Amino acid sequence: MRALILIAIASTAAMAQQPRLGTVHFPTSATPAAQEHFLRGVGYLHSFEYNAAGQAFREAQRSEPGFAMAYWGEAMTLNHPVWNEQFADSARRVLARLAPTPAERAARAGTDRERQWLEAVETLYGEGSKPRRDTLYARRMLRMAEDHPADHEAQAFAALALLGLNQAIRDVPAYMRAAALVQPVFEANPDHPGAAHYLIHAFDDPVHAPLGLRAAQAYARIAPDAAHAQHMTTHIFFALGMWEEGRAQNEVAANLTRWAPGHYTWWLGYALLQQGRFADAERHLERVRSGMTGSRGQISHLTWMRGDFLVNTERWNSAPASWSIEYGALPAIAAYDAFVAGYRGWRQGNPGAVQTAHARMTALMDTVRRRGDTLSLRQLAVMERELGALLRVAAGQTHEAVAILRAAAHAEETIPAEFGPPHIVKPAWELLGEVLMEANQHAEAQQAFSRALQLAPGRARALMGLVRAAASTGDRAVAESAYRRLESAWSNADRDLSELAELRRLSGIATR
C-alpha cells in the first residue's frame, strides 16, 4: 500500500497549485500521481463540489487506468444524498468503464479494503428502487464503520449515507446518529472537510444549531477553495440569527462561482434584508438579475429573492415589484409569486388583488399536485391558507382568519427542511401575529411572534412584531430584549429606516 498523501500537500510549490480542501487520510494501492488526484477528488466530494470531484477522479483514471478506487470516486459524485438526487444509470456506466460486471470490478481492487468500498458502491447502484438501494448502502457503510472504527473515511461516508437515508426529509434521530459518527472524526482531525460538513447538516435547525457552531466556524478555514464549504457554514449562522457572518460567507461563495440568481446569492440577499440593509439588498437583486442566463434554477431563485425582498421590506412600489418574470413550466414558482402578489394586495388594502391571487394560486397548485411535487405542494398549501385567512380578515371574519392561520402555522411546523431563507416567504406564525395585532389581541400576538422566533431566530419582521406586541401588553422586559436583538442586527441598517426609532420608543428604552 502506498504511503499516505494528504490533500494539503506539504511543499510550498505544490500548495501554490493544489486547491485547499482540508486534510483527508485515505490510503490506497495507487501510484503517487494517481493518489494525488484521488485525494483531491475525495476532498471535493466531501464538500459536494461534484463536478470538480469528477474531474479529479477522471484524472486519476488517466494517470492509472486500472485504479479501481478512481472509478468508485467518480460513481460517488453521481449520488447526492442530502439533496435526494441520484443519477444511477450514469454511475453504472462509470463503473462499467472499469469492468463489465461487479465480479470483474472486484477483481480489479488493489486491496481487501478497496474491495469493500467497491462492494458498497455496487450496492448503491444495484437493483431496486432508490429508497431500497439507499437503505442497503447505508447498512453496508454502517457495518464498515463498525468494523473499522479508526477509518475516518468509513465513519464519514457512513454518516453521509444516514443523512440521505430518508429521501431529503429530516429525521432527527438519524441525523443525531450521523453526528455521533463524525464528531470523533472532527475531534481527531479538525481539518477533515467531511466531518465538519456533515456535523453542520446534522445540526441544521435552531434547536441543535449551537452544537454545530464550532464545525461551522472551522469549515470555511478547512476548505477555502470549495464554494459550497464557504456557504455551508451559514446554515448554522442563519439558524442562530448570525446575519453578518451569514452574509460574509455567502459573498465568498458567490465570488468563487458566479453572480447570478442561485443558492448562494439567495442566502446573501436574505441576510442583507435581516440586517435592514434594504438598499444593498435591492442593488444585489439587480446585480444577480443582470447575470441571468434564463435557466429554470435561476428563474426559481430570482422569484424567491424578489419575494423575500418585497415581503421583508414591504416596498411595494420599488423597481423589483414591477418586474415581469416568465415562469414557463414552473407552476410551483408561479404559485409562490401569486402569494406574494396576494400579500401585497392585503398590505395595500386591496382585497380584490388578494382574491385574484388566491384563485390563481389554487389553480396552479392543481398542476403541482398532478406533477407529484409533494414538498412544494405542502409549502404552497400553507401559503394558500394564509391568503384564505387574509380574505377572511378583509371580510371582517377575524375569528375564522385566526383559526385558519393557526392551522397553517401548525402545518408549517410539520414540513421538514434544512435551515435557510423560508420557502414559505411569510412564515405563518409571523403573519398570525400581525393579524392578531390588527385585531388588538396583543397577548396572543406576543405568543405568536415568540413562536415565530423560536423557529426562525433573529428574523427582523418577527422581532419588530414582538416589540410591538410586548409593549402593548406592558411586558417591557420582552419588548426591550427583542428591540436590543433587532438593534444589534441592524447596526449597519439603512439610515432612512424609521422603524428603529419607533420600536425604541415602544420598548421604553428612551424613557429610562
DSSP track, 111-161: SHHHHHHHHHHHHHTSSS-HHHHHHHHHHHHHHHHHH-TT-HHHHHHHHHH
CA gap 257, 250 in Å, rounded? 11
CA gap 439, 425 in Å, rounded? 23
**pLDDT recorded at residue 416:** 75
Cβ-based neighbour number of residue 392 at 10 Å: 18
- Positive or negative, the CA dihedral 274, 277, 282, 283 is negative
Longest CA–CA separation in the chain, Å: 81
**pLDDT recorded at residue 168:** 63
Packing angle of the helix pair 296-313, 263-274 (nearest 10 deg): 0
CA gap 209, 246 in Å, rounded? 14
**pLDDT recorded at residue 415:** 87
Mean of per-residue pLDDT scores for the chain: 93
Q: How do the domains of the chain map onto residue ranges?
A: 12-202, 327-426, 430-512
**Coil, helix or strand for 86?**
strand
The angle subtended at Cα 422 by Cα 418 and Cα 425, nearest 5°, is: 160
Looking at the domain 430-512, which fold is it?
1.25.40
Q: Of 184, 121, 143, 134, which Cα lies nearest the Cα of 162?
A: 134
Q: What is the pLDDT of residues 352-361, one digit of tens each?
A: 999 999 999 9
Residue 326: phi, psi to the nearest 5? -90, 120
Q: Of 196, 125, 128, which Cα lies nearest the Cα of 160?
A: 196
CA gap 338, 332 in Å, rounded? 10
Terminal alpha carbon distance of the chain: 73
Buried b (16+ CB within 10 A) or exposed e, 29-43: bbeeebbbbbbbbbb
**pLDDT recorded at residue 394:** 94
**pLDDT recorded at residue 418:** 66
CA gap 120, 139 in Å, rounded? 9
Ranges in the chain, pLDDT < 50? 1-16, 511-512
CA gap 214, 222 in Å, rounded? 12
Q: What is the pLDDT of residues 367-392, one digit of tens each?
A: 999 998 888 999 999 999 999 999 99
The helix or strand, by DSSP H or E, that contains position 79, with its residue range, turns out to be strand 79-80
C-alpha cell at 263: 443558492
